[in-house]
């Protein structure tokens, strides 16, 4: 019997628990020649702010051992630009659309959320409180419990869509951050964003990235992310979406055993655009081999 992969996560129905991560898959059309979008559980689009935003200067990305550091700086066409330019395309596809949002102030977060409320074809908002690349907001919000609580509550007040705060990895006690999100109305959590990191050109003695530092993503961070997911799962009951260094079904399965209800593929889309599809197939094969009939059986199934 073929195991079933469909899940309902925070009220969002998905045909499988495999998504593509914000910032690594554009807004949908970019990879559409290579990846059949209708096979994905969900797309999380690149972070959207109230107004169009230009992002950082180049160089914006550098490859390092086991990963890359990016400092794109959240370049995006703004709420109206995104809805006008990309939603018609996305609505034609059979996958959940989760919009990653950010703001430079609390008010902006709330306003962006308000603007998306009721827009046809959008299934949830992922709140980026943890981007290491925007100084004005992002990073600082996600690293104190107080500001995390405020952002989540502010967004909650403005939308009926499921909201999914995306946690910063560079905290000592991820459980406390997970809990404060749950307490303030989060429907699910995404973890994790990339790690603050830096590379220096030893010939020029300058930082390689124009932004000085950026966020590390890719296989390098996977074992850290698994630990954070495991800790967060102990702290909250709401479902978790895990990401960080997934390159194969094995990596995704580790996350689900540790506590995730769904997973997202990020950097690996660049390495191998078919990764998300391979994860779906590998997950199905694994469940069949293990005689599990529903993917839910895997979630939080760790044996200690």
Partner 1 sequence: MMRIENGTVVGHDAMGPDYRVLTLKLPEVAPLAKPGQFIHLRLAQLHDAVLRRPFSIYRADGNHLSILYKTVGRGTASMQNLRLNDTASVVGPLGNGFPLDLASSVTPVLIAGGYGVAPLYFLARKMTRRGILFIGGAKAADILLADEFRALGWEVQVATDDGSLGVKGLVTLALDAWLQALVPNAQPEFFACGPNGMLKAVGDRAISGNRKAWLSLDRHMGCGVGACLACVQKVRLSGQETLARVCKDGPIFEARDVIWED
CA-based nearest residue to 256, from 223, 300, 289, 191: 300
C-alpha distances out from residue 132 to 16, 191, 194, 214, 283, Å? 29, 14, 7, 6, 31
279 binding ligand FMN? (CB under 6 A)? no
Q: Active-site residue among 131, 149, 226, 232?
A: 131
* Residue whose tokens read 């628990």: 17
78 binding partner 1? (CB under 8 A)? no
Q: Which is nearer to ligand FMN, 5 or 279 (CB)?
A: 279
* Per-residue exposure over 269-303, b if at least 16 CB sit within 10 Å of its own CB, e if not: beeebebbbbbbebbbebbeeeeeeebbebbbeee
Q: Whole-number minimum distance, CB 29 to partner 1, in Å? A: 8
Residue number closest to ligand FMN, CB atom:
23
Stretch that binds partner 1, among 19-27, 123-131, 176-184, 198-206 (CB under 8 A): 19-27
Decide: helix, strand or coil at residue 160. coil
* 2, 54, 204, 304: which one binds partner 1 (CB under 8 A): 54
Stretch that binds partner 1, among 6-14, 165-173, 222-230, 265-273 (CB under 8 A): 265-273
| Annotation says 131 is catalytic | yes
Q: HSE, CB side, 13 Å, CA atoms: give it for residue 90.
A: 26
* Contact present, 188 and 239 (Cβ < 8 Å): yes
81 binding partner 1? (CB under 8 A)? no
Binding site for ligand FMN (CB under 6 A): 21-24, 46-47, 70, 72, 74, 100, 128, 131, 166, 193-194, 217-218, 221, 243-246, 265-268
């Amino acid at each position: 019997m073929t195991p079933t992969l469909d899940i309902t996560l925070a009220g969002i129905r998905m045909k499988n628990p495999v998504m593509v991560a914000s910032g690594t898959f554009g807004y949908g059309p970019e990879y559409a020649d290579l990846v059949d979008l209708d096979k994905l559980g969900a797309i999380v689009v690149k972070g959207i702010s109230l107004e169009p935003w230009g992002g950082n200067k180049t160089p914006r990305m550098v490859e390092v051992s086991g990963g890359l550091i990016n400092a794109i700086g959240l370049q995006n066409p703004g709420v109206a630009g995104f809805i006008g330019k990309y939603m018609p395309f996305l609505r034609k596809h059979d996958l959940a659309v989760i919009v990653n949002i950010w703001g430079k102030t609390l008010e902006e977060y709330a306003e962006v959320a308000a603007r998306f409320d009721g827009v046809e074809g959008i299934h949830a908002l992922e709140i980026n409180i943890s981007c290491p690349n925007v100084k004005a907001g992002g990073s600082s919000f996600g690293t104190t419990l107080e500001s995390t609580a405020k952002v989540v509550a502010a967004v909650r007040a403005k939308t009926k869509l499921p909201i999914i705060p995306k946690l910063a990895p560079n905290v000592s006690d991820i459980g406390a951050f997970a809990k404060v999100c749950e307490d303030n109305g989060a429907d699910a959590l995404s973890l994790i964003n990339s790690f603050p990191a830096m590379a220096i050109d030893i010939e020029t003695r300058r930082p390689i990235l124009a932004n000085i530092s950026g966020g590390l993503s890719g296989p390098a961070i996977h074992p850290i992310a698994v630990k954070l997911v495991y800790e967060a799962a102990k702290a909250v009951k709401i479902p978790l979406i895990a990401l960080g260094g997934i390159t194969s079904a094995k990596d995704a399965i580790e996350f689900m055993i540790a506590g995730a209800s769904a997973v997202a593929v990020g950097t690996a889309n660049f390495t191998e655009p078919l990764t998300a599809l391979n994860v779906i197939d590998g997950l199905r094969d694994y469940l069949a081999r293990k005689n599990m009939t529903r993917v839910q059986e895997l979630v939080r199934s760790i044996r200690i």
